[in-house]
Structure 1
Amino acid sequence: MVAGQGFADEHDPRRVISSETLYEGRIWNVVSDTFTLSGDDGDALVRDYIAHPGAVAIVALDDQDRVLLLKQYRQPARMSLWEVPAGLLDVEGEDFVAAAARELAEEADLTAARWDVLVDFFNSPGSSSEAIRIYLARDLADVPEDERHIRTEEEAEIEHLWVDLEEAVAAILSGRLHNPSAVAGILAAAQAARTGFTGLRPADAPWPEHPSQRNELPVRADADR
């Protein structure tokens, strides 16, 4: 059993014998890795998972301690969910904070003068490489109307709602909100608010868990031949 305050998830790559792309999608692929757990002599395991570019999400908090929620339809869930602004890290080389600022402008018509990191997490680490960073955005201002992004497809139906932060927490605990970025971000923001937002990481804090920051390269299937 591990005890104490120094515990943390750790980078722990295992030997990849081969890696094969089973499906190439518009946004992410499905990959099959063959790897070992216990060094080169261990039994080989095969795991299929979604290779995902990752995402950023934003808890936008105004000067009245209200958080912005967006209502958006999600086909896999067959539900319209109240979420926080978020988007894929699908622009090659784009800075994480710049991506968050872009998504906040595109989905919420807002800019923010102050950014902090609230929480990092893997959305579903048993089946996807998707890593998500949630930012706290404050000192908000409106994007001028003539500079606003034209939302299309599901985004064209987005509805905006400002909710008191504690009311949003209550909605999570009562089972009324289900989006993982909203749940994690709102709960983290509420906890941070109790200490005056002291101790939050700066917006440019390292994010070594994101796939783009890893140094190891898997041994491809054709490399063994």
Structure 2
Amino acid sequence: MWRRATGVAVVLLALGAAGGYVAADRTRPEPVALDLPEPVPAVSPAVPTPPAVELLPDPSSPALAPALPLEQMDFRVGRRGMGVSVGIPTGWAVYKEAEGDPAWNATVPGNPTYTFKLRVALVAGRHQSVGVAKLSRKEALRSAVDEDELADLTYLAETEDAFVATYVQDDHLRVTMERWVSFGSDTAYADISVTGRKVDEQGLADLLARVAASAEPLAALPKEEKTEEPSS
């Protein structure tokens, strides 16, 4: 029987991320005031503090709603290769991320950049465990920070096969939720992720959980047989 990478912990991560981790992130002890504040002599030179990142306003498009209707779609390597079938929100536009790369993005047609999107990537060909695949993805994000493509990468929640993080891209704060799906083994088969604004968090968590639950593997199709032209 196929095993989807679900489980109570991941469901709680996906469904609770929009509220729980945000509340936890912002729950800090109140500062305690001293009765008689006195200057403290410097022990060593102060460490330079990097300037705070100034964020641009998010697009004003409506927030991603939860419980969107889904329609099952097949994604294959080439026309007849192996693939995965997942639910995609009805009416969303699907496009290839890059030529030759088995990854697809889906979003509302006409939505501005830096709203929200769903990404489905086939990773079975890498023959990596879920843990290794997740670590590789985190390394890729760290490299993007080193290359100044991203900034302020922060992990907010994590399980064995999923994580929730925020980062700044082109002066926009982004929320990303990523999950790896496997079938019948620990080998990662597909990487499903959702990315959006803070206002999209509830919709992102709901969409990730439901799309991952809908995932089914697709075997490669038989090769097409060539038919010989009848001789005259």
Larger radius of gyration: 2
Of structures 1 and 2, the one with the larger relative CO (CA 8 A, separation 6+) is 2
TM-score range, shorter chain: under 0.3
TM-score scaled by length of structure 2: 0.24
TM-score scaled by length of structure 1: 0.25
Structure 1 or 2: larger strand share? 1
